[in-house]
Structure 1
Amino acid sequence: MIELSPQKLSTTARKALANAGWVFFDRIFRIATALLVGVWSARYLGPSQFGLLNFANVFPTVLTSLAGLGLANILITEIVRKGEYAENQLLGTAFILRLMAGSVSLFIIAVAIRLLYSDQPVLQAMILFTSSVLVCQSVDVIDLHFQSRVKSRLSVVAKSIAFVLSTLLRVYFLANHFSLLAFSSVVFVEAAFSALILVLIYNREEGQHVLQWRFNRVLAARLLKLAWPIMIADFFIFLYMRSDQYMLKELASDLELGKYTAALRLSEVWYFIATALTSSFYPTIVKLKTQDEEAFQRAFRKLLGLLTFISLAISVFISFSAPFLVQLLYGQQYAGADQILIIHIWSSVFVFTGVGSSYWFILHGQQRIVLLKTIGGALVNILLNIALIPGYGAVGSSVATLLAYMMSSYLMNYFIKEARPVFYIQSLAFVDIFKLNFIRSLLKPGQ
């Protein structure tokens, strides 16, 4: 059994923060690039075409949960716990399962768009390009392997190289006035390059080869049994993260959709911080859970406190700077997007605490509670969107999203008996933000 002394915890915490730092670097690099290329694209295409391009990107996310099978956190947990199955079996089985699910998802989308958009061949092609990521993401099991080893820098290197190549392609398309279809193809190029480079880095750095992976039918059944509630929950997460864009297109206009999408770019761009921090600390938290329940509870509370503090700081900053940011980045044609952003950014508070608390349910084998909460949040979001979009457009959709996240990630924990401990820890995290020493205690030995 691995001993986790206070000194060891301090070292591990620093390693986790360094690991998260690599993810931060990747996202900040992408944000900086988006200021040059993403905003250039938005101005070049205009709100209507920009909204249509993002609609093509949103469409395949309906089946992202099916293609991913909810295996991400389950696989990391199994690797860290080092159970009865070898890692080459875990990775090989997860890869085959995801490859099959991604291929089925792509086929379903191809049939669906043929029926729904038979008179729009360009839109069909755009959606097929963007849907290619459903197959390519099967290789992301390598990324999950790196996360379990707290080696996210290797994934960052692979994905950054692919991102740079795809960005250069976007710049070429912009400079030479390519069509909307060309811009949608960049999604496929980036996904394919990312998958290829991940494989090359894994083969070189880990002293192993993907050809050594093995599929295990018994393990496959076990993983699917553990992951199916997460898979369905991921689908409902899509419903209240992306269905608002579909409903805006149908109930409002492409113009409202374009403004909403522009605001989302500045709001959701921060969500990576929650994922990076939580995934970096997760391997350590898994070990604590198996060895010291009291230490696990302290670490979990500190993590939620840190996530809450960061999300509140971001929300306050964006709320005050939204008019300036929208005018600077998008120009007058996106007037009104700042009001959408001011409301939507506060959803990040509940996104951050929701991401952090989701790991608690997985560690306690309560994946079905995650499913129940997510379904509840999705239903609230859809009903509020139906009620608010016709009268208030994108602003109403932002209000619906905020209330849905608040309900799903926080308030529902109080009304579910098994989830009530999480509600109390989340509530204490809001109190802890007034005690700035909680950040220092994260690294202080013996705390």
Structure 2
Amino acid sequence: MIDSPPKKLSATARRAFANAGWVFFDRIFRMATALLVGVWSARYLGPSQFGLLNFASVFPTVLTSLAGLGLANVLVTELVRNREYSENQLLGTSFILRLVAGTVSLFAIAVTVRVLYGDQPVLQAMILFTSSVLVCQSADVIDLHFQSRVKSKLSVIAKSIAFLLSTALRVYFLANQFSLLAFSSVVFVEVSLSAFILILIYNRQEGQHILNWRFSRRLATYLLHLSWPIMISDFFIFIYMRADQFMLKELATDLELGKFSAALRLSEVWYFIATAITSSFYPTIVSLKTQNEEAFQRAFRQLLTLLLSISILIAIFITLAAPFIINLLYGQQYEGVDDILVIHIWSAVFVFMGVGSSYWFILHDHQRLLLVRTIAGAVINILLNFVLIPRYGAVGTSIATLIAQMTTAYFVNFFIAKARPVFFVQTAAFADVFKLTLLRERLKRTP
């Protein structure tokens, strides 16, 4: 039972909102800066070369989930619960697991691109530069540690410094008309700097040192047992989110790929909001789950209602403003991108829903159900791409993505008995949005 006074709950909520605020600041700052530099890059390179630059990130993006081993949410949960293993064991074991997985993934990509693009050495080098993130992401266990303590401010500082320096380098390359290879190398600069600064801040702010971390074989087995379904699920998510670009390159043209990449930047840039809100409130929700099931269910529904409200407002705004935004940012050479964006932005509604509901599966030890519904979405997306891309190009890809996201995040839950409670909470959240429940509750609390 929760007998905490309202002041304590309010303090917890304020702390979560403050934590989310730091993440929002980081993402909004990145979004605004990346948008300006990204538009400059798109205009400078043109649709075809801009498409190739984005294509270089497809391989590492697809393997990011495998290199991360699905440990993110599991590690945060274990750090909050703090049961059998020490913090140094949890961080040390997760770091080594991710480092090994990232190195193996990078080697696999190197072999693959050598076989597929042996006659294109520049493209090979571009892909390897962007794939460096797979190794450097092992240091993100520090970020997850800060999340578990609701201290995302420290992660924001580290990543913002790295982002600022890498952005300055991009601007220098643009001003001096550097090649595509130079632009792709900036990814390596940013991720390596971010990892280095995260380690420095952890050592100084926490009064600890990564040399105190310890690897536990038993803990590694336990973590992998919990995380492997999430890893495979995340892999299939990236497959059907990035297979679009690969299939566009093979089934359509570089021009269509460039247009889709331009729309994607304006559509996916909003996804950080779902992650920021959910990760900030997750430690509180984990605590509620262990104390009061009714309070947990109520908080879970409120979280989904908030995520849906925000995502629907974003989708409506972009739908109405798309022609103006595309013409202002990209110009006439990207004509038709607004049609792609209007369709693709509605996928965000179900992405937000999927991010918020994924924690329910982890807390109930139903990670394998995440895998089932994700595979269903991946299969639907790829099959629809084969049908729609030859006829409609990038517009067809956007339609396929929307249907796949809708299926994965929402409808599949109804057909899986153990996931059906999530479907009903999601449906209730949709009803709350249309009834303006959050707004009415807020007005009632206003004196």
Equivalence for 1:69: 69
Mapped partners of 1:396, 1:282: distance in 2: 36
Q: 2:251 is matched with which residue?
A: 251
Question: Corresponding residue for 1:236?
Answer: 236
Task: Say if 2:340 and 2:398, in contact at 8 Å, map to a contact too.
Answer: yes
Given the superposition, is the C-alpha separation of residues 248 and 190 from structure 1 closer, same or farther in structure 2, using an over 3 Å criterion?
A: same
Alignment partner, residue 79 of structure 1: 79
Structure 1 stretches lacking a partner, 5+ long: none
Separation in 2, partners of 1:14, 1:389:
47
The verdict on how the C-alpha distance between 1:310 and 1:272 changes in structure 2, with shifts beyond 3 A counting, is: same
- Pairing of 1:85-234 with structure 2 (within 5 A): 85-234=85-234
Contact in 2 for aligned 1:306/1:439 (Cα 8 Å) = no
Unaligned runs of 5+ in 2: none
Query: Does the CA-based 8 Å contact 1:414-1:423 persist in structure 2?
Result: yes
Find runs of 4+ consecutive structure 1 residues off by over 4 angstroms: 1-5, 439-445
Instruction: Tell me, yes or no, if the aligned pair for 1:263 and 1:341 is still in contact at 8 Å.
Output: yes
Corresponding residue number in structure 2 for 1:319: 319
Match of residue 382 from structure 1 = 382
What are the Cα deviations for residues 26-53 of structure 1, in whole angstroms up to 9, with x where unaligned? 1111111123211100100000000000
Asked if structure 2 preserves the Cα contact closer than 8 Å seen for 1:47 and 1:254, the reply is: yes
Instruction: State the distance in 2 between where 1:439 and 1:89 align.
Output: 44
Tell me, yes or no, if the aligned pair for 2:2 and 2:292 is still in contact at 8 Å.
no
* Change in 2 beyond 3 A, CA 1:342/1:383: same
Q: What's the CA shift for 1:316?
A: 0.2
Q: How does 1:341-352 map to 2 (within 5 A)?
A: 341-352=341-352
Provide, for residues 262-305 of structure 1, a one-character-per-residue CA deviation record: whole Å limited to 9, x for no partner: 00101000000000000000000000000000000000000000
RMSD after superposition: 1.5
- Matched to 1:209, the amino acid is H
The superposition leaves residues 220-277 of structure 1 with CA deviations (integer Å, 9 ceiling, x where unpaired) of 0000000000000011001111000000000000000000000010100000000000
In 2, distance between residues paired with 1:15 and 1:62? 34
* Aligned residue type for 1:125: A
CA distance in 1, matches of 2:291, 2:442: 19
Query: CA contact under 8 A between 2:162 and 2:191: conserved in structure 1?
Result: yes
CA spacing shift, 1:3–1:115, aligned 2, 3 Å: farther
Residues 4-26 of structure 1: CA distance to partner in whole angstroms, max 9, x if unpaired?
44432222112111111111111
Q: Distance in 2 between matches of 1:65 and 1:224?
A: 13
Contact 1:22 1:152 in 2 (8 A): yes
Once the two structures are aligned, what percentage of the paired residues are identical? Answer: 76
Partner of 2:434: 434
1:122-159 deviations in Å (ceiling 9; x for gaps): 00100110000000000000000000001111111100
**Letter paired with 1:410:** Y
Aligned equivalents of 2:345 and 2:310: distance in 1? 12
> Matched residues in 2 for 1:353 and 1:381: separation?
18
Distance in 1, Cα, partners of 2:51 & 2:26 = 25
In structure 1, C-alpha distance between the alignment counterparts of 2:180 and 2:52, rounded to whole Å: 9
Q: Give the distance between the partners of 2:5 and 2:195, measured in 1 at CA.
A: 38
1:400 aligns with 2:400: yes
Closer, same or farther: CA 442–111 of 1 in aligned 2, 3 Å: farther
How many Å apart are 1:409 and its aligned residue? 0.2
Shift in Å, 1:440: 7.5
- Give 1:436 shift: 3.6
Measured in 2, the distance between the counterparts of 1:210 and 1:245 equals: 38
Question: Aligned residue for 1:300?
Answer: 300
Deviation at 1:170, TM superposition (A): 0.3
Partners of 2:240 and 2:440 in 1: how far apart?
35
SS of the residue 1:83 aligns to: coil
| Deviation at residue 442 of structure 1 after TM alignment | 8.1
Scaled by the length of structure 2, the TM-score of the pair is 0.97
The answer to whether the Cα contact below 8 Å between 1:10 and 1:444 also exists between their aligned partners in 2 is no
Conserved? CA contact 2:79–2:90, under 8 Å: yes
Contact 1:14 1:443 in 2 (8 A): no
The whole-number CA distance in structure 2 between the counterparts of 1:99 and 1:182 is 26
Query: CA separation in 2, counterparts of 1:238 and 1:118?
Result: 25
**Contact 2:69/2:231, CA 8 A, preserved across alignment:** yes
3-state DSSP of counterpart to 2:270: helix
Q: TM-score, normalised by structure 1?
A: 0.97
Q: Give CA-to-partner distance per residue, 1:157-212, whole Å, 9 cap, x none.
A: 10000000000000100111101000000000000000000001111111111111
1:270 match: secondary structure: coil
- Superposition pairs for residues 409-420 of structure 1, below 5 Å? 409-420=409-420
- How far residue 332 of structure 1 moved from its aligned partner, in angstroms, is 0.5
